[in-house]
Amino acid sequence: MKFGLFSTLSYTSEVDWHEHYSKFVKEVQYAEELGYDTYWVSEHHGSGYGTIPTDAVIAATLLASTRKIRIGSAVVNLPFSNPVRVAEEWAYLDAVSGGRVDLGVGRGYSPGEFQLMNADPNVSREVFAECLEVILGVWRNRNFSYSGKYYNFPETEILPRPVQRPHPPVYVAALSPETFELVGKHGLNILTTPSLMGMDGLKSAITSAARHLVTESGRTPESIDFPIQLIMHLAPTKEEAYKVADEPLNWYFDRVLTKVPGGKGNAAKSYEFYQTIAQNTASGAVSLDALNENGVAVIGTAEEALKRLEDLRDTINLKQVMLWMNFGGINHEHVKRSMKIFAEEVMPHLRNTKTPVPKAFRAEPAHS
């Protein structure tokens, strides 16, 4: 199993912006020191929910400040970007770092961000599909031309070329059947999170996606990778973990439910799933017990974190986890302590373990 960290770098109160970003660089350096494999960053616009406007820019800073840890995007919102520029920027980052980048891509979801970026959420699925084809096309071919509904250009070679072959690993954020088809078509993998659906719902979606990739795309079950983003805060006792995480988690869920489609008003076409989630999520203060029970978060001790990840390893063959410890403006020192506890008390038990691929990944279940 591989271990990563994740952050939107939230802004919850007035800060010294230089210190805000300097602390984050130090956090990533500390992650490298502790032996984490990857640090994933997330693009957001127009609110304190996230203060990383461009993944590539902060990735360049982090790569220059570290030596071993991989830096990933989770995710670059392709409808907000020119796909050729994305391909060029991440090829440069791959080259300058000696192959230490992972590219996560998505189509975005926040109505406010679509408005700020002058993008149309109603056509985001089509735009995303074309963007992905362009990025993979210019990476996988020395000379590549494209003629689509939204993007057109003559035969072109982008420079620099990625140093990873055939290109940096590419992950797609989504769990819809339409996206499964794209993932299968291009031989990619999927980024997932239980944050708004619960772990049982996520396990079911992952199993369905795995079957689809096997039966429709010819993938082997062993090749399928579903890195899971998991909110986590660890402390010496569960009571202390609850005390530290309570306010930041309430801040996070208060913000995220105003950002998803349908959180305020109706959702755009093809985002109805988010509206259902928003409508079904209870208002008011979140319950840390409920978050733990539903698998949305792990707030507690190293023992509880190990138990949760062992279950995910055994039931859905979890190969990578993205731990969201820097959430909701949580104190920097508390984040570092949680990172250290996980690295010293959980990682060693999971680093080199292997389990059989679940039978449910291999074919559709028998019907009675």
Q: Where are the domains of the chain?
A: 2-360
* Structure confidence at residue 273 (pLDDT): 45
How do residues 15-48 score in pLDDT, each as one tens digit? 899 999 999 999 999 999 999 999 999 999 999 9
Look up the CATH architecture of domain 2-360: Alpha-Beta Barrel (3.20)
Q: Residues 114, 81: contact at Cβ < 8 Å?
A: no
* Structure confidence at residue 277 (pLDDT): 46
Pairing of strands 152-156, 144-147: antiparallel
* Mean pLDDT, rounded, for 45-54: 93
Q: Residues 352, 34: contact at Cβ < 8 Å?
A: no
| DSSP alpha helix (H) spans, 218-287 | 238-259, 272-280
Residue 296 in this model has a pLDDT that exceeds 70: yes
* Structure confidence at residue 365 (pLDDT): 52
Looking up tokens 């410890």 gives: 325
| Phi, psi (deg, nearest 5) at residue 38 | -145, 150
Residue 207 in this model has a pLDDT that exceeds 80: yes
Query: Which runs of E-coded beta strand occur in the chain?
Result: 2-7, 38-41, 70-73, 76-77, 101-106, 144-147, 152-156, 170-173, 189-191, 228-234, 297-300, 320-324
Residue 149 in this model has a pLDDT that exceeds 60: yes
On the CB side of 209, how many CA atoms lie within 13 Å of its CA?
Answer: 29
The contacts of residue 359 (CB under 8 Å, 6+ apart) are: none
d(CA 204, CA 200): 6
Q: Is the peptide bond before 75 cis (omega within 30 degrees of 0)?
A: yes
- For 326-362, the DSSP string reads S-TT--HHHHHHHHHHHHHHTHHHHTT---PPPGGGT
Q: Residues 44, 54: contact at Cβ < 8 Å?
A: no
- Burial class of residue 352 (count of CB atoms within 10 Å of its CB; 0-12, 13-18, 19+): exposed
| Phi, psi (deg, nearest 5) at residue 299 | -115, 105
* Structure confidence at residue 215 (pLDDT): 87
- Burial class of residue 213 (count of CB atoms within 10 Å of its CB; 0-12, 13-18, 19+): buried
- Give the chain's largest Cα–Cα span: 62
CA distances from 234 to 31, 101, 265, 299, 338 (A): 15, 27, 36, 6, 5
d(CA 25, CA 186): 33
* Mean pLDDT, rounded, for 80-88: 97
* Structure confidence at residue 284 (pLDDT): 54
* Structure confidence at residue 257 (pLDDT): 67
How do residues 90-145 score in pLDDT, each as one tens digit? 999 999 999 999 999 999 988 899 999 999 999 999 999 999 999 999 999 999 99
Q: To the nearest whole number, what is the mean pLDDT of the chain?
A: 90
Q: Residues 269, 122: contact at Cβ < 8 Å?
A: yes
For the record, the structure tokens of 14 come out as 């007035």
* Mean pLDDT, rounded, for 330-348: 97
* Structure confidence at residue 267 (pLDDT): 45
How do residues 209-268 score in pLDDT, each as one tens digit? 888 888 888 888 888 889 999 999 999 999 999 999 999 999 988 887 666 544 455 545
